[in-house]
Amino acid sequence: MLDEPRMTAPSRKRRSQLLRNLNAKVASIPMILTAVVVFVGGTAWTIVYSFTSSKLLPRLNFVGLEQYERLWVTPRWLVAIKNLAIYGALSLTFSLVIGFLLAALMDQKIRFENTFRTIFLYPFALSFIVTGLIWQWILNPSFGIQGVVRSLGWTSFSFDPLYNSDIVIYGVLIAGLWQGTGLVMCLMLAGLRSVDEDIWKAARLDGIPTWKTYLFIVIPMMRPVLITTLVIITTGIVRVYDIVVAQTSGGPGIASEVPAKYVYDYMFLAQNLGQGFAASTMMLIPVIIVIVPWAYLQFGRGRRG
């Protein structure tokens, strides 16, 4: 305050910029602190301790890359990564495609749109645990789909994905899609509705077929919604955990293990924090790969614009 008269012009300008929207800045301090201290700090702490031999309690005795070396030769971790890749790729594709198709159908000014929207979105209101349990029952060979079809007389019918190591992850995928597609549909529908009616009129006037209008005009215009949806789906995939626990507990054997479950099991059941931290650090990498370029693109563009 004292040296204010001596302040040079640029510094005064900086000062005034700092004070602009002061209320908003003060109000966001708690969130910034939480983000920095808890999230960034917690992540850094986890990474540091992943280089130690911590067992039940975190201890700072460094062992270099030992935890990571062990991680990448553990069959269970490799199975988990493979499952995540399959689940991720398919879940991303199918939920986007199905979600968009449903939204496009809803957008045809159909009757009872609200009813349909509720029906499709309803599974999203259920937790993953409930979803997993429901689908565990539906896919159970003795009283699920297989049982029902067999009781109708087709006794050779066999459909038991959850008890077959080779296809169990697809059983989990079905449940995941059932739960998540409704949300994608809603986001897509909002995106479709945000497209100006005049564009449709213009396209119709030019005689462009509907599917072409969707593919080449509407979808490119929905880019922001698509990106948001993509980020939500991708991050949801990386942390997939509860649905597997409820549906299969990682079984049969270790056939449906996922990385998040590996992290939990090694941190708390095997009492090997170091190993769990190493695995969770590895889980951070795909997230960074998705988030960083996206954030760069979004915010970089925003500033230029």
The residue among 203 and 277 lying less far from another protein, judged by its C-beta, is 277
| 245, burial (CB in 10 Å: exposed 0-12, middle 13-18, buried 19+) | middle
The residue among 199 and 295 lying less far from another protein, judged by its C-beta, is 295
Alpha-carbon distance of 130 to 152, in angstroms, equals: 28
250 and 261 Cβ atoms separated by less than 8 Å: yes
Catalog residues that contact another protein under the rule CB under 8 A: 35, 39, 42-43, 46, 55-57, 74-76, 141-142, 160, 163, 165, 224, 227-228, 231-232, 235-236, 238-239, 241, 249-255, 260, 263-272, 275-277, 280, 283-284, 287, 291, 294-295, 298-299, 302
Alpha-carbon distance of 57 to 59, in angstroms, equals: 6
Q: CB of residue 84 vs another protein: minimum separation in angstroms?
A: 13
Phi-psi region of 110 (alpha: psi -120 to 50; beta: other; left: phi over 0): beta
The residue among 209 and 224 lying less far from another protein, judged by its C-beta, is 224
Q: CB of residue 265 vs another protein: minimum separation in angstroms?
A: 7
Q: CB of residue 31 vs another protein: minimum separation in angstroms?
A: 9
Helix ranges (H only) for 153-238 are 168-194, 197-205, 210-212, 219-221, 223-238
Q: What is the gyration radius of the CA atoms in the chain, in angstroms?
A: 25
Q: CB of residue 110 vs another protein: minimum separation in angstroms?
A: 27
The residue among 99 and 236 lying less far from another protein, judged by its C-beta, is 236
277 and 54 Cβ atoms separated by less than 8 Å: yes
Task: State phi, psi for 23 to the nearest 5 degrees.
Answer: -55, -50
The residue among 53 and 113 lying less far from another protein, judged by its C-beta, is 53
